[in-house]
């Protein structure tokens, strides 16, 4: 079975696949302060809770935007699963042509999102990946990564606002019933939920106009659940990046 691991700045997303079937998806916090032993203990406890033996994992692939955690997960695969995992990088064939000024600077997560969209027949499309950063990506009619916008993510923006003001409280993300807040909590939440939805819609419209043809709209990423109800006409796909990892693994497994 294949274990696909996406290491983001905030969350690490794991998917165990039997062929192309997702058996489970598990998210944990990406924490560079935790030791290898702590990660190993957490992973062991989780697998035992699902009654999954490590020996059933016979292959792996890693996408990471955190170099230190990429090394840690490669070690976990080697020493715990006995597997040499593939990692997304310049030497791995992804099947995605990167049509940008400097392809080497395009993050592994963006490439995997594009690979997932191509594998699922969603192109051409605009992908909004809401994570630590809010990324809005164009995968063009040829299935190429054609560029993106990168901005502040919901949680990062909210934390910055709270910690750089004297009177605003910490709030949990939630969609208020109305855009116009009548109290501080709703006013802050409105800006981050409705504001992100409007940002994503506006960018998608502008990107589609620049592309010159209609594009499907796809929503994914760890914070996408907080705005998904406001983007009901978008395709919500919580496993898009993992599916991209699986597609890339299949391309390289021989």
Q: Which positions are catalytic?
A: 109
Tokens linked to 176? 């208020």
Tokens linked to 125? 């499309």
**How would DSSP label each residue in 86-112?**
EE-STTS--S--B-SS-GGGS-HHHHH
CA distance 199 to 209: 15
Alpha helices in 26-144 (DSSP H): 36-49, 67-76, 108-119
Structural contact between residues 96 and 241, judged by C-beta atoms closer than 8 angstroms: no
Structural contact between residues 65 and 107, judged by C-beta atoms closer than 8 angstroms: yes
**Burial (0-12, 13-18, 19+ Cβ within 10 Å), 92:** middle
């Amino acid at each position: 079975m294949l274990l696909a691991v996406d290491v983001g700045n905030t969350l690490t997303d794991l998917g165990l696949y039997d062929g192309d079937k997702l058996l489970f998806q598990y998210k944990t916090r990406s924490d560079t302060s935790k030791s290898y032993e702590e990660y190993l203990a957490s992973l062991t406890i989780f697998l035992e809770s699902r009654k999954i033996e490590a020996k059933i994992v016979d292959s792996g692939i890693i996408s990471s935007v955190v170099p230190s955690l990429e090394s840690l997960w490669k070690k976990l695969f080697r020493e715990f699963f006995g597997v040499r995992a593939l990692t997304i990088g310049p030497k791995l064939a992804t099947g995605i042509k990167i049509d940008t000024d400097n392809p080497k600077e395009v993050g592994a997560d963006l490439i995997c999102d594009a690979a997932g969209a191509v594998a699922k027949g969603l192109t051409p499309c605009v992908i909004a990946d809401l994570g630590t950063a809010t990324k809005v990506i164009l995968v063009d009619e040829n299935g190429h990564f054609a560029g993106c916008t990168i901005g502040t993510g919901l949680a990062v923006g909210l934390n910055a606002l709270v910690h750089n003001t004297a009177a605003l409280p910490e709030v949990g993300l939630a969609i208020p019933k109305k855009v116009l807040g009548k109290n501080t909590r709703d006013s802050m939440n409105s800006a981050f939920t409705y504001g992100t939805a409007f940002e994503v819609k506006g960018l998608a419209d502008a990107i589609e106009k620049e592309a010159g043809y209609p594009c499907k709209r796809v929503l994914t990423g760890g914070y996408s659940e907080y705005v998904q109800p406001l983007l009901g006409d978008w395709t919500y796909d919580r496993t898009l990046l993992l599916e991209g990892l699986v597609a890339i693994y299949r391309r390289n497994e021989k």
